[in-house]
Each structure stands twice: as structure tokens, then as C-alpha cells.
């Protein structure tokens, strides 16, 4: 995969949005549209099912040179040879971890797994950076049905991240083509989009619209 610093559009294969569609087909459409990273998010699925999904999607992302991120399962991510794993605050700090190095196999032949952490406040961001996170998710910026109980962090946190976070970071949560300009104006250069892409009538076209605005924002 390309360096995280060159990744702008972070898309998802979320099993909650499959609606009968094959996950590998969705992954291909995201790749065709220009997604730079694709996270497999399968909340409630068994480890075996996530392994199966990962093995179906990975050849698609590999051919396209797109990074595959596994949500919640660092050991599985290393087992299948994914590029990264994403963890929430509870999954990382709540599980007693203090540094991402503790999650990595010491002599993996598959290379070093990148670890991303979700953050919702400046304090959480500082803690994630101290723990060695390779990238941060900053959000949810707006209310989102993907995480209905999460309180929006608003554009203020985006502005804080733009001024204070040196590693690659992605604004996430309720971002769509209608509010993307405001998120970029607040200082974001990279974004995650879930429902705005997966609910689109044409997924590759939706990705291209996001990517066009991201690239035009001045990297």
C-alpha cells in the first residue's frame, strides 16, 4: 500500500451496509473509485467470519494497491497479511494496552502492521500519539447512524487536530458531499466515509466525487 501520508479517502466495507452485496464486489467498486484505504468493519461477526471476509477482500485490495484495514482484530490482521488494524479507545486502552508495539508479532514475515486509533477529544489524541499510533481517527464530527450513541465532536476538534496532530489523521462521522467543504475548511485533509459512499447509487462515482474535492483542497 502507499504511505499513510499519501492516503486521502478512507472507505469501508461495513457488513451492516452489505444488503446482500458481496463484500469483495464492494471492495472492487471502492478501489475503482479511488479509495486509498478500505476498512473491513464487521461488528458482531465471529472471528472465523471476519477471517473469511478478509481473505475474500485482500486479493482485491492487493491488486489495486489499496491498504486493507481490519477493525478490532490485530492478531487476525497480522494472520491474513492486512496492512493495518483499527481500534477504538475501549478496544485498546480499555483492554490494558499502553503502546501499539505490544500488539505486533515480533518477527512477522508479513511486515509491520500499522495501528490506527479512534479519538474523540484532544486528551485521547495525545494519549494515542504517546502510544505510538500510526494514524488517528478524529470524530465523529457530525451525528452518524453508524454510531448513534456517539456525541459529535464538532469542527472544533477538527481544527484542534489540524493544529496539533503530526501523524496522518482522518476526520470521520457523518461526513458527506454536502458538508465536506466545511470539514476541509476546518483543516482536515483526509476523511473517512461510510454511509455516504455505501448508500450511494453508484459507489465508484461517489468515491470519485469525494476524492476530487479532497485533492482540490490543497495537499
DSSP one-letter string for 8-23: -EEEEEEGGG-TT--H
pLDDT exceeds 90 at position 112: no
Taking the C-alpha atoms of residue 162 and residue 55, their distance in angstroms, rounded to an integer, is 35
Q: Prior bond to 140 cis, omega within 30?
A: yes
Q: For the chain, how big is the Rg over CA atoms in Å?
A: 16
pLDDT at 111: 56
Q: Which residues contact 58 (CB under 8 A, 6 or more apart)?
A: 68, 80, 81, 82
Rounded to two decimals, the pTM is: 0.95
- Percentages helix, strand, coil for the chain (3-state, rounded to 5) are 45, 15, 40
Q: Give backbone dihedrals phi and psi of 145, rounded to 5 degrees, phi first.
A: -70, -20
Q: Are 77 and 85 in contact (CB under 8 A)?
A: yes
Q: Which residues contact 42 (CB under 8 A, 6 or more apart)?
A: 14, 15, 49, 50, 53, 71
pLDDT exceeds 70 at position 75: yes
Q: What is the CATH number of the domain that holds 85?
A: 3.20.20.70
pLDDT exceeds 80 at position 160: yes
Q: Give the chain's mean pLDDT.
A: 94
Helix (H) or strand (E) holding 32: helix 23-33
Predicted confidence (pLDDT) per residue in 18-65, tens digit: 999 999 999 999 999 999 999 999 999 999 999 999 999 999 999 999
Taking the C-alpha atoms of residue 122 and residue 161, their distance in angstroms, rounded to an integer, is 8
Q: Using a pLDDT cut of 70, give the percent of the chain over it.
A: 96
Task: Give me the domain span that covers residue 144.
Answer: 4-216
pLDDT at 122: 97
**Active-site amino acid positions:** 41, 118, 147
- Give how many domains the chain has, as a whole number: 1
Q: Are 67 and 44 in contact (CB under 8 A)?
A: no
Amino acid at each position: 500500500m502507499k504511505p499513510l501520508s499519501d492516503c486521502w479517502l478512507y472507505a469501508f466495507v461495513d457488513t451492516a451496509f452489505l444488503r446482500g452485496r458481496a463484500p469483495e464486489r464492494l471492495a472492487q467498486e471502492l478501489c475503482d473509485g479511488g479509495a486509498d484505504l478500505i476498512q473491513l468493519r464487521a461488528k458482531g461477526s465471529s472471528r472465523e467470519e471476519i477471517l473469511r471476509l478478509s481473505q475474500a477482500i485482500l486479493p482485491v485490495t492487493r491488486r489495486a494497491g489499496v491498504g486493507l484495514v481490519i477493525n478490532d482484530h490485530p492478531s487476525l490482521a497480522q494472520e491474513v497479511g492486512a496492512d493495518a488494524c483499527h481500534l477504538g479507545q475501549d478496544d485498546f486502552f480499555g483492554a490494558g494496552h499502553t503502546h501499539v508495539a505490544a500488539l505486533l508479532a515480533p518477527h512477522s514475515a508479513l511486515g509491520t502492521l500499522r495501528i490506527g486509533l479512534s479519538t474523540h477529544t484532544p486528551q485521547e489524541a495525545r494519549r494515542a500519539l504517546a502510544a505510538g499510533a500510526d494514524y488517528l481517527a478524529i470524530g465523529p464530527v457530525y451525528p452518524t447512524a453508524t454510531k448513534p450513541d456517539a456525541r459529535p465532536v464538532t469542527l472544533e476538534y477538527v481544527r484542534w487536530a489540524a493544529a496539533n496532530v503530526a501523524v496522518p489523521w482522518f476526520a470521520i462521522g457523518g461526513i458527506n458531499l454536502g458538508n465536506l467543504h466545511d470539514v476541509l475548511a476546518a483543516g482536515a485533509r483526509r476523511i473517512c466515509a461510510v454511509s455516504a459512499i455505501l448508500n450511494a447509487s453508484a459507489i465508484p462515482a461517489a468515491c470519485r466525487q469525494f476524492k476530487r474535492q479532497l485533492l482540490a483542497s490543497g495537499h
